Structure 1
Amino acid sequence: MIIGHVFERFVEESPVSVMVRGLLETILCPQKLDELFEKNAKTQYTKELLFSTVVEMMNTVTCGIRPSIHAAYQAKTSQMNVSVTSVYNKLNAMETDVSAELVRETGTSMEAIIRHLNGSLLDWLPGYRLKILDGNAIGASEHRLKPLRDCNSAPLPGQSLVVLDPSLMLAIDVFLCVDAHAQERSLLHKVLTTIEEDDVWIADRNFCTLNFLSGIVARKGYFIIREHQCFPWYDASEFRHIGSVEGGTVFEQTVKVSDDEGYLSSLISVPRFIID
């Protein structure tokens, strides 16, 4: 029972690493990953290279164990029945829906574990679910083709909107676009389909658009979003004093906003700070 003795030593000396390893093997179970791929892929198909194998290699790169996919492939050469070109072809053609669903399903599984272990943080707003939305344009990599490395206008890897649950400190959703030069706002129609009642969305002013805010209200959600200078509104009341914070006094004001569907007919604007 050599394996048993080795395992016991790890349990005694580094129990957290053993638990994390077991957790990742459960969440990223090859069978589950391959089923996810078959369920969500529309144009790709499985021939010899499994989706779970690609995820495993990507994990070693993401975690810094291997410097590149090529290095990850070389470390598994004896177990691979396809060429490294096939691996890159699989990655290059990976559909965004598959990648997004991978985040959602693993996020759902991780959430269940965190809540079962009472590991969530205190709710910022009890009775509501906060979701922080932010964009991420994936930066140019030194692994790009050499002639393009110094070209600012060269194609970038992609654009994404990521949803973070601050009580779980977990990314629970992602919306992807293969065009990194696309506006973040071009993905907001996808975000709207996921909004649930009593959600509270937190985002910066780039997401302060009439359609997005009205869509949140129409779905009985709420938002805390910084006002964009081009957002259309007009006064509906005078400023009201509501309290003080470190460095200033806080006032708030009711403003009127409406869209073609009549949503957002009345709302409270972002509190304004007047420094003493």
Structure 2
Amino acid sequence: MALEAIVERFTKRSPVTVMVRRILQHAMNSQWIDQLFEAQREKQYTRELLFSTVVDLMALVALGLRPSLHAAAQADPQLPVSLTALYDKVNRTEPQVVRGLVQEGAKRLLPVMQKLKKAQPPWAAGYQVRVLDGNHLPASQKRLKELRNFRGAALPGQSLVVYAPEMGLVVDVLPAEDAHTQERALMGPILEQVKPGELWLADRNFSTSKILLALDEKQAAFIIREHGASPNPTPLEEKRELGRGKTGEVFEQAVKIEGDKPLKLRRIEVHLEEPTEDGETVIRILTNVPAEKMGALAVAELYRGRWKIEGMFGELEAVLESEVRSLGQPKAALLAFGVAVMAYNVLSVVKAAVEVGQEEEAAKRGWQVSTFYIATEVKATYSGMMTAVEPQEWSGQGEESAEQLSEVLLELAKQVKLSTLRKHPRAAKKKVKKGYVSAEEARKHVATARVLKGEKP
């Protein structure tokens, strides 16, 4: 079989690329994508162009294999419609379809990731941790006629993102076309998906009585930073000093949110050794986690883990093409972001498999696996592999169970040359206070060669 020969060759030369293809076939199978589209759509319909074809083309852009949707479509000789028809479909993709894509793709990958990370200790015993944050898409190019008279940035949309840090997967995305909608106003559909036994971490944008009460009613736990004005709980006792954490002195206080159903909470107050970027020296965290399950110091430390989602957003921007600025239509930009999130989940599974398969080597050398170098390897070799083997020849691979796929991934991971995928962390930057210079001085050009020689610019 041609497939067997090609896979064997690429397994030796680029096992990561074969892993990505196997995971894509499992998590982004055309059949379930088209079924999901039919179940979720409202105004759209299918004639000649299947929605799975649109997702496949957008995935090429998200992985950096093609510079734009136009380039991806132009390189596909089997595209059954014109470019105009393709963009019409992309520009009208409904947000609930994008959300369904991310949710279903994550459900397919969660069992695989659980097999790979079964030896990993939980973040919080007895809980499944979920991190919630908002993400605004950056300004798009002003290709739309209606935008050309505006000098300000044109923001095509935003989304609420739910991240499972223990698994390294984005499990939900709520797209919103209006970039100026308050994040807390979008919380309704997210709260509907909350399950008992989950522990939600979020910043102060989500600190409202309504959200906290809703989480508690769902029998879910939360650790959420308190907003300065909301929910303004009533103290029930004096603050008690409990010791020093990694970032400063920690205090605890019992508080209560008034209402039809008063809610008693713990307020954890951290007096920071160094101020935040906003200059704040004290942060307050509200939680309904019982003290016997998690002490105040542990709550403060777990809240710091919320920044894992910022690292995920950074990788989406730096490693994948999640921000396609040429897509000015909100629905199109949100579809591109959703597909990029699915691609991130695929790379996250690859990373987990390599970490487990190369655990001894990594521990011996003190190396960590880099998502950036995984993506770089895929960009360099994926197109060549797919040129050698037609996509339909991979169709049988999508029928693997989660357990079978995890075993295959671990076997492939053992073929990886770890030195090509390791991180190269930089030393911490020295904090240097920036001096003031005039705008005229800041705009001056200098010749690099003269500066290096020590000459006066």
Moved more, 236-245 or 4-13: 4-13
Structure 1: runs of 5+ lacking an equivalent: none
Alignment of 1:93-172 (within 5 A): 93-118=92-117, 121-142=120-141, 144-145=143-144, 148=147, 151=150, 153=152, 155-172=154-171
Alignment of 1:181-196 (within 5 A): 181-196=180-195
SS at match of 2:135: strand
Output the amino acid matched with 2:13: E
Using CA pairs below 8 Å that are at least 6 residues apart, which structure has the higher relative contact order?
Answer: 2
Give the corresponding residue for 1:241.
241
Retained in 1: the 8 A contact 2:117–2:167? no
Quote the Cα distance in structure 2 between the aligned partners of 1:228 and 1:123.
28
Deviation at 1:238, TM superposition (A): 0.9
Alignment of 1:216 onto 2:215 = yes
Retained in 1: the 8 A contact 2:234–2:258? no
Give the corresponding residue for 1:228.
227
Output the amino acid matched with 2:150: C
Deviation at 1:154, TM superposition (A): 5.7
* Backbone CA RMSD of aligned residues: 2.1
Q: As a proportion of its length, which structure holds more strand? A: 1
- Distance change in 2, residues 1:150/1:252 (3 Å): farther
SS at match of 1:131: strand
Alignment of 1:1-276 (within 5 A): 1-76=1-76, 78-118=77-117, 121-142=120-141, 144-145=143-144, 148=147, 151=150, 153=152, 155-231=154-230, 232-246=232-246, 248-259=248-259, 261-264=260-263, 266-273=264-271, 275=273
SS at match of 2:163: strand
Retained in 2: the 8 A contact 1:192–1:216? yes
In the alignment of these two chains, the number of paired residues is 273
Output the amino acid matched with 2:207: C
Moved more, 86-95 or 152-161: 152-161
Retained in 2: the 8 A contact 1:114–1:120? no
Deviations 1:102-126 (A, max 9, x none): 0000001111111123367431101
Retained in 2: the 8 A contact 1:225–1:270? no
Deviation at 1:94, TM superposition (A): 0.5
Moved more, 32-41 or 2-11: 2-11
Moved more, 46-55 or 154-163: 154-163
Quote the Cα distance in structure 2 between the aligned partners of 1:55 and 1:207.
32
Retained in 2: the 8 A contact 1:120–1:168? no
Retained in 2: the 8 A contact 1:131–1:166? yes
Deviation at 1:144, TM superposition (A): 3.5
Deviation at 1:151, TM superposition (A): 3.5
SS at match of 1:241: strand
Output the amino acid matched with 1:138: L
Retained in 1: the 8 A contact 2:10–2:18? yes
Quote the Cα distance in structure 2 between the aligned partners of 1:146 and 1:42.
27
Output the amino acid matched with 1:93: R
Output the amino acid matched with 1:230: A
Output the amino acid matched with 1:182: T
Deviation at 1:222, TM superposition (A): 1.4
How high is the TM-score relative to the length of structure 1?
0.92
SS at match of 1:253: strand
Deviation at 1:192, TM superposition (A): 1.1
- Distance change in 2, residues 1:158/1:248 (3 Å): closer
Output the amino acid matched with 1:270: I
Retained in 1: the 8 A contact 2:127–2:197? yes
Deviation at 1:35, TM superposition (A): 0.8
Quote the Cα distance in structure 2 between the aligned partners of 1:213 and 1:175.
19
Moved more, 51-60 or 18-27: 18-27
Deviation at 1:140, TM superposition (A): 1.2
**Sequence identity percentage:** 41
Quote the Cα distance in structure 2 between the aligned partners of 1:87 and 1:200.
41
Quote the Cα distance in structure 2 between the aligned partners of 1:226 and 1:165.
19
Deviation at 1:8, TM superposition (A): 1.2
- Distance change in 2, residues 1:154/1:142 (3 Å): closer
Deviation at 1:274, TM superposition (A): 6.3
Deviations 1:195-253 (A, max 9, x none): 11121111111110110011111111111111101112121011112222245321100
SS at match of 2:65: coil
